[in-house]
Amino acid sequence: MKRSLIGIGVMTLASMLLVGCSNGGSQEAKDGKETITFINNRTDWETNGKWDEYIKKFNEKYPDIKVEVQTITDYAGQIKTRMNSDDYGDLLMIPGDINAQDYATFFEPLGQTSELSEKYRAVDDRSYEGVSYGIPSQLNATGMVVNMKVFEDAGIKEFPKTPEDFVKALKTIKEKNPEVTPLYTNYAAGWTLSNWDFVKAGVAGDMDYSFKMTSDRSPFDSGKPLNTIYNLLYTVTKNKLVEADPTTSDWEQSKVDLANGKIAVMVLGSWAVPQIQQANPDNAKNIQFQVFPTTAADGKQYLTVAGDYNYGINVHSKHKEAARKLLDWLVNESDFAKDNGGIPTPKGAEFPDSLQSIQEAGVQIVEENPAPEGKESLFSDINNESELGIGTTDKEKQRIIDAALGNTNESFEDIMKDFNQRWSDAISKVTAN
């Protein structure tokens, strides 16, 4: 793939200001230390000093490596713009929508996937033809972040296990306390709606589900996982069990409102639990993580975990060894996963408390199986061609909400029919090449 195909567009002022030296953005410090640039999405950690704490600890082990941290708010968009040149840092978070066959164009190989998988979870995420180009910063589960006190105050002692019972529970909450928003969509934030897509394998109870979709020309039919997921989003919206005007939702305020019992539940990753608990530490015990309210055909509930942003090394970096030291330290020695409510990447590391309770309740915590070698990019190729944005963009989830609100004349069935057609057409086009 030509570099110009990645994130073509006018570079924003913010991204231009971030651009440093060429050849990966590294430079030599005046004190003789080797300097590397680490680009990531955690802008809050730059403002609250958390990255300073991390780099200080790293320098206790590697005093001769100076780390310059750059954070980007619109990370996925701006980092891809920078990837049109050679200047995108030394160590960075790999954007999620880079085609697998293009990893080697942009990122340094980190080792054989088979060998790395003996030590780390989810290294298949950024692998191609048996080579890994990224290692997850952490793993996340996606499901429901819940204020259980709101449910209990409404007389609901156990979190629902089916879509029908979930809708019934939200209606009960609304009846008992009209001031509470049962489910907050976070429509306006955009990226938040992708979380609805990440539960599909767990809903299916099939860890090969994503790959099976590459040969299913009607994956949005009634009774199939994505139809079930999207129908739940449509139903709760149509029944006015969401914020009054989702188009004006406020992500930062929603965390505070969930912590304070003004919102009952949001569809998010396990990483959000500590953020919401910190919004009101006095209510921290009320904030729990629950599996998406579906039960698979075998009678079990499944919670899939997957890699968050992967660390990758710029293939053009002149400081690859130093960048690899920082990568390895972040994965193996830092508290990044713990501080973010995630699952540590090294195998054998304990799950966070929020997931341990789910596991004890009998929920199966699993990882999706990797696609067959040589077909790692097939799902993403079809997804990109269809422009449905499953797990990557939020336009189509917003479309479902708009239809449920009555802002358009589309029915849910119309939308699913359109999705099926676009997915089928994309399969034909991708597999014909």
156-179 confidence digits (pLDDT tens): 999 999 999 999 999 999 999 999
* The CATH fold of domain 3-138+309-345: D-Maltodextrin-Binding Protein; domain 2 (3.40.190)
Percent of the chain with pLDDT over 90: 77
* 13-56 per-position pLDDT tens digit: 333 333 333 344 444 555 668 999 999 999 989 989 999 999 99
State pLDDT tens for residues 309-334: 999 999 999 999 999 999 999 999 99
CA distance 269 to 44: 18
Residue 160 vs residues 19, 170, 214: alpha-carbon distances, Å:
49, 10, 31
DSSP single-letter state for residue 206: -
CA distance 184 to 236: 10
Sketch the domain layout of the chain as residue ranges: 3-138+309-345, 139-307+361-433
Residue whose tokens read 């003789």: 32
Q: Alpha helices, DSSP H only, in 86-215? A: 103-106, 113-116, 148-153, 163-176, 200-204, 209-212
pLDDT at 2: 35
Distance of CA 160 to the CA centre of its chain: 24
Intrachain domains 3-138+309-345 and 139-307+361-433 with the same fold: yes
Which residues partner with 181 through β-bridges?
263
Statement: 139-307+361-433 belongs to CATH 3.40.190.10: yes
| Contact predicate 371/95, CB 8 Å | no
Write out pLDDT tens, residues 126-141: 999 999 999 999 999 9
| Per-residue pLDDT reduced to its tens digit, 64-81 | 999 999 999 888 889 999
Q: pLDDT digits over 207-241, tens only?
A: 999 999 999 999 999 999 999 999 999 999 999 99
